[in-house]
Structure 1
Amino acid sequence: MDLHDDAALIIIDVQQGFDDPVWGERNTPDAEANIGRLVAAWSDASRPIVLVRHDSVSPGSPLAAGSPGNALKPVVADAPHELFVTKHVNSAFYGEPDLGAWLEARGIRQLVICGIQTNMCVETTARMAGNLGYDVTVPLDATHTFDLDGPGGIRLTADELARATAVNLAGGGFAAVLTTDEVIGAA
């Protein structure tokens, strides 16, 4: 991996509300620690960091704006950052302020995307970034998700969903899927 000096670290929805038991079983117990390692590497290299927060509009959501669960987790709450985006949907490209415009104004073309949930907001943001022509990397072990029920009684575990995300992103040509160690090694 060739990491540009201005490669942006995009940290998606690392919020207290994801600790609520309502979400169920999660994977990647070291995700937050790996996110912290990425923040340290980006800070040490003076690369740009973007924090993204999901302000849910769903009634009763643990991520509702103004609720305790809306707050960022300690691992990123005090992270130095150049942009703070809030959103109501899966993609950080549909938030405020405009992530795409901010990246374009700075000429940033390489993104490393991590956070919560792997198969939801992280994958959606990475897919959009890939479609928009960015060079995208997702350190999969710096993400986590939860078991999920689908149609017809199908239930996938968090690990199965993470593997599907890895296949979707890498196999679909949206993003490189690496480990935190591999990304930090390039930093």
Structure 2
Amino acid sequence: MNDETDGAGYSAANTGLLLVDPYNDFLSEGGKLWPRTAPVAEQVGLLGHMREVLAATRACGIRTLFVPHRRTAPGDYADWRHLSSSQQATARAQLFAVGSWGGEFHPDFRPVEGETVVHEHWSASGFANTDLDLLLKQCGISRIVLIGMRVNTCIDTTARFGQELGYHVTLVKGAIGGFGPEELEATFEVNAPTYAHAIVTVDEFVAALPGKPA
């Protein structure tokens, strides 16, 4: 981290943690996508690192905003003209289905009192067609820190969109998962250096946070 992007700028007043798509289908054994998530999750210690970041930001008063994908319902996308391949797969498998266990947040990543669940996004951006930008601006947040799933889709796209809207963007390696090491490499080594203001490890990020509020 350089002087421009170091943790001196992270504070409860201006920073929001975006916890993206912490669904059981992604993060829990028995989830529909867990077999694809598990190898990378176990390699990087994903769940433990996500817990560590969330606990640290909560302890110092940084606001958490949950950024969930659309929970799929029967008939979704039925009349759409231009489905992406991801949307086609989501519809077929009924990922994150409304009313299902897989469509609930992992038990370790659920909102507590005062935390916000953003409107669900239909594709990969947590900003497009949601209230995320409005909520961040109304709360005075200018820095966003992203953790969760999936690195080269919703994380990458939400972070890019955030930078386009003028936010300072931080990605926390180890607390972001995907379906293979090549996806992590594509984001962290190729894409994110062109838009992110900081790409840090969990240890670096936690060490950069301010002290706990009195």
TM range (shorter): 0.7 to 0.9
Matching residue of 2:64: 49
Gaps of 5+ in 1: 147-157
Determine helix, strand or coil for the equivalent of 1:76. Answer: coil
Where in structure 2 are the equivalents of 1:9-158 lying within 5 Å?
9-18=17-26, 19=28, 20=31, 22=33, 24-26=35-37, 27-29=40-42, 30-54=45-69, 55-56=71-72, 57=76, 58-85=91-118, 86-94=120-128, 96=130, 98-146=131-179, 158=180
Deviation at residue 185 of structure 1 after TM alignment: 0.6
Structure number with greater Rg is: 2
- Cα 1:22–1:142, aligned 2, differ >3 Å: closer, same or farther? closer
CA distance in 2, matches of 1:10, 1:81: 14
SS at match of 2:158: helix
Work out whether residues 32 and 95 of structure 2, in 8 Å CA contact, stay in contact via their aligned partners in 1: no
The structure with the greater share of residues assigned to strand is: 1
What is the match of residue 5 of structure 1?
A: 12
More RCO (CA 8 Å, sep 6+): 2
What percent of counterpart residues are identical?
Answer: 26
In the alignment, which residue of structure 2 is the partner of 1:181? 203
Structure 2 CA distance for aligned equivalents of residues 79 and 169 of structure 1: 33
Superposed CA offset, 1:34-81 (max 9, x none): 111111111111110001221234243231222221100011125455
Q: What CA deviation, in whole Å up to 9, does each residue of 1:121-167 have, x standing for no partner? A: 11110111111111110102101111xxxxxxxxxxx1111011012
8 Å CA contact 2:25–2:32 kept in 1: the answer is no
Partner of 2:80: none
CA–CA separation in structure 2 for the residues paired with 1:172 and 1:78: 32
Kept in 1, the 8 Å contact 2:66–2:111? The answer is no
Q: How many residues align?
A: 175
What is the CA–CA distance in structure 2 between the aligned matches of 1:164 and 1:175, rounded to whole Å?
17
TM (norm. structure 2) is: 0.75
How far 1:92 sits from its partner (Å)?
Answer: 0.9
Deviation at 1:21, TM superposition (A): 5.1
Amino acid at match of 1:109: S
Q: 1:164 aligns with which of 163, 175, 186?
A: 186
Unaligned ranges ≥5, structure 2:
1-5, 77-90, 210-214
| Matches of 2:143 and 2:33, distance apart in 1 | 35
TM-score, reference length from structure 1: 0.85
Q: 1:22 Cα shift?
A: 4.9
State the secondary structure of the residue aligned to 1:108: coil
Hey, what does 1:153 align to over in structure 2? none
